[in-house]
Amino acid sequence: MGYDFKVRAIELHSLYAWDFEWIMMTMDFIQAHNMNTLILHRNDFIDLIVYPGKYFGCSREKYDSMLERYGEIFRKLYKYTPTRRSSPYQRYGFLRRVLEEAKRRNIDIYIENKELYFPDIIIEFYPHLVKNGKICANDPFWWEFTRVKYKEFFEDFPDVAGIITAPATGESRVSIKSNRCECELCKSTKVETWFRNLLEAMYEPIHAAGKKLVVRDFVFDPQAQQEILSVIDFLPEDVVISLKNTPHDFYPTFPLNSRIGNVGNHEQWVEFDAMGQYFGWGIGIADLTEDYCNRFRAIKEKGASGIIVRTDWESLDGHSVFRTPNKINLYAAAAFSRNADENIEKIYYRFLEEEEWFEKDTDESQKRNAAKWFGSLFSKTWPVVKKTVYVNDCVFSDSSLSPVTLEHAFWLALEKNSLRDWVPSKWDAINPDMETLKRNLAEKDQALEEIEYIYNKSLEGCEGIRRDKLNYLQSRLFVNKVYVSFYRDITRAVLLAHYIIETEEERNSEFFIKTREMLDEAINRLHDLENKITEFYKTTSYRPHTIYTLLDPARVQAIRKDLTARINEFYKREGDKCE
């Protein structure tokens, strides 16, 4: 069978990247679906498994293993970093076993991180790295340190296929994007120079080991994108460029990342999120099969040779796409990675079959009808989430969590996750004017109507699907409905308050007066919502726990108190009285 994408990868984060049984389960899925790559992602992964020995007194240039290094430096490790002493020592055996299991399955293992990272003791060993209380991002020591740790890493783990890194996010321990050092060297060094120094320091030992360096085009704004791209253009052609399928982050309402297909002669991989950091975590179910279908075809046409599917998120421990209905996205991504023109009905069919949804002895015709029924419901879930956690396509959540203040909501939408940075036509998407407000409020009502429809259809049941699976689906859709209602009430109050406070339209108009009445009603609804969610919180026992993270009455209380205070202050300034 021919494949549309040479690299077909699943990515695990943080805790799951160190969970052996979870890794085995993931490799079983990879093997069953003719994928070929597993990525273990933790921002400090290398530093959790490399000492590095040179800085603790290793006397030779080369050792056959970490164990030989440890045998020479264990006393110094125990003296300077006793809690860390045993950790790389233990993880050495863990990763070697993972690599052996992967080799048996013909699966490549990549390590993904964010650089620069380092163990705390390095600052004690080299105090000059801190200048006026701030770590200097440009001190030449960092480039030596980077070369040393990757050299040692690949000496210890020669079966790792390569390193994936994101240097431009500011999310590492030392980064030029979050550098606060004000020394003369930092003042005179260009951002692009820092990127080049770091990537050259990584490339040399990785290339010498015969492995791949994969650089992620993961940035938060167009300026940072240009800075990192000016360096990427000069990297050796064997460096792979990995790009999120949408600019900035995994927002399905955003357009295709414009850099895809524009990376020169570099091989390019494209990243997708299946779990749903920005589309409901699978609590708000979001079947992206159709979205994937369109985007996989588009990136294929733009020359992408690999896809990466993220299954969890480093800031949400204990949660994974494998534990929610969004697992359908994993099936879809696996199918489209093999064939970008795969039939969608076949994906739903395979999901139901492999996840054991079909009743025993169900005939083929019943199975096909059940797959169509299931697809007719699931395909409608992403449009619901889109109208729930987005406002006119703008990100209106904190990674699917509701905002906790008015200012927080609009910072998320207009600054941190700005759509208008990438789509100028969306500049006025959440402006405080009458027509925009009406449209955006209607969007929230539509989301509630649509999830009610999906939930009610699920109650009708379907011949050929097991009763326990049907009960599970109905339960998940009920929680989904609660989430949509929860988000609708909060967003409605936020948008109404924003209009009242910020609009430049006539304040004596009939619409403005009516909007004030609507706002009063919306804030009263938040009182009711808080009580309702508190009861839900105390009396239900759903799994996973993240249902209660999203549906937290404390979030309702926080936004209610903030909106009440702001609107009271506004009325006071306006010489009016708040009831």
**Model confidence pLDDT, tens digit, residues 169-188:** 777 888 888 889 999 999 99
pLDDT at 310 over 50: yes
pLDDT of 191 reads: 86
pLDDT at 6 over 50: yes
Does one domain contain both 185 and 318?
Answer: yes
Residue 333 and residue 505: Cα distance in Å, rounded? 47
> Is residue 50 a part of any domain in this protein?
no
Whole-number pLDDT of residue 166: 87
> How far is residue 73's CA from residue 60's CA, in Å, rounded to a whole number?
12
Q: Are residues 244 and 157 in the same domain?
A: yes
pLDDT of amino acid 218: 64
C-alpha to C-alpha distance for 399 and 42, rounded to whole angstroms: 19
Is residue 411 assigned to a domain?
yes
Residues 410 and 335 in one domain: no
> How many domains does one find in the chain?
2
Residue 214: name the closest of 160, 165, 157 by CA.
Answer: 165
Q: Are 150 and 267 contained in the same domain?
A: yes
Per-residue pLDDT tens over the stretch 452-479: 999 999 999 999 999 999 999 999 999 9
| Percentage of the chain lying above the pLDDT 70 cut | 97
Asked if residue 236 has a cis previous peptide bond (ω within 30° of 0), the answer is: no
Q: Answer yes or no: is 365 within a domain.
A: no
Same domain, 342 and 443: no
What's phi and psi for 310, nearest 5 deg? -85, 135
Q: Which H/E stretch holds residue 271?
A: strand 268-273
For residues 221-237, average pLDDT = 73
Nearest to 496 by CA among 365, 375, 391: 391
- Average confidence (pLDDT) over 82-109: 95
Rg (CA), the chain: 26
Segment 279-302, tens digit of pLDDT: 999 999 999 999 999 999 999 999
Which of 122-131's residues contact partners 24+ apart within 8 Å by CB, and which partners?
A: 122/55, 124/80, 125/55, 125/80, 131/181, 131/183
Band (231; pLDDT cuts 50, 70, 90): confident
Region 254-262: mean pLDDT is 94
360-389 average pLDDT score: 97
Q: How far is CA 15 from CA 46, 393, 447, in A?
A: 15, 32, 34
Q: How far is CA 510 from CA 134, 506, 579, in A?
A: 56, 9, 19
Contact 173, 118 (CB under 8 A): yes
Query: What is the C-alpha end-to-end distance of the chain, expressed in Å?
Result: 70
- 143, 253: one domain: yes
CB distance 389 to 478 below 8 Å: no
Residue-wise pLDDT for 415-434, tens only, equals 999 999 899 999 999 999 99
Taking each helix axis from N to C end, the angle separating 381-389 and 467-502, rounded to the nearest 10 degrees, works out to: 30
State the pLDDT confidence band at 41, using cuts at 50, 70 and 90: very high
Rounded Cα distance, 484 and 488, in Å: 6
pLDDT number for residue 577: 43
- For residue 110, tell me if it sits in a domain: yes
Assigned domain for 25 exists:
yes
Whether the CB-CB separation of 550 and 401 falls below 8 Å is answered with yes
Average pLDDT, the chain: 94
Cα Dmax for the chain: 82
Residue 387 lies in a domain: yes
Given pLDDT bands bounded at 50, 70 and 90, which one contains residue 576? Answer: low
pLDDT digits (tens, 9 = 90+) for 318-348: 999 999 999 999 999 999 999 999 999 999 9
pLDDT confidence of residue 192: 87
Residue 462 and residue 339 share a domain: no
Task: Label residue 234 by pLDDT band (50, 70, 90).
Answer: confident
Angle at 450 between CA 448 and CA 455, to 5 degrees: 95
The CATH number of residue 182's host domain is 3.20.20.80
**Residue 465 sits in the same domain as residue 538:** yes
Query: What pLDDT is attached to residue 574?
Result: 83
Instruction: Name 216's bridge partners.
Output: 242
Range of the domain at 417: 380-573
Give just the sign of the alpha carbon dihedral 31, 32, 37, 42. negative
pLDDT grade for 578, boundaries at 50, 70 and 90: very low
Measured in whole angstroms, the distance separating CA 77 from the mean position of its chain's CA atoms is 35
> What's the pLDDT at 579?
39
Q: Are residues 135 and 231 in the same domain?
A: yes
Is residue 56 assigned to a domain?
no
Question: Do residues 493 and 559 touch, judged by C-beta distance below 8 A?
Answer: yes
Predicted confidence at residue 2, as pLDDT, reads: 67
Q: What percent of the chain has pLDDT over 90?
A: 87
Element (H, E) at 269: strand 268-273
Distance CA 449, CA 239 (A): 48
Task: Give the global pTM.
Answer: 0.95
Residues 152 and 292 grouped into a single domain: yes
Residue 59 inside a domain? The answer is no
Question: Do strands 134-135 and 130-131 pair parallel, antiparallel, or not at all (unpaired)?
Answer: antiparallel
Average pLDDT over residues 567-575: 90
- What's the CA gap between 70 and 77, in Å, rounded? 9
Q: What is the mean pLDDT of residues 503-528?
A: 96
Q: Which residues pair with 280 in a beta bridge?
A: none
Is there a single domain that holds both residue 242 and residue 389? Answer: no
Asked if 290 and 401 sit in the same domain, the reply is no
Contact 116, 143 (CB under 8 A): no
Q: What is the pLDDT of residue 220?
A: 57
Predicted confidence (pLDDT) at residue 224 exceeds the cutoff of 80 = no
Antiparallel, parallel or unpaired: β 130-131 and 212-217? unpaired
Quick one: which of 280, 275, 246 has its CA closest to 381? Answer: 280
Q: Which of 8, 6, 513 is nearest to 307 (CA)?
A: 8
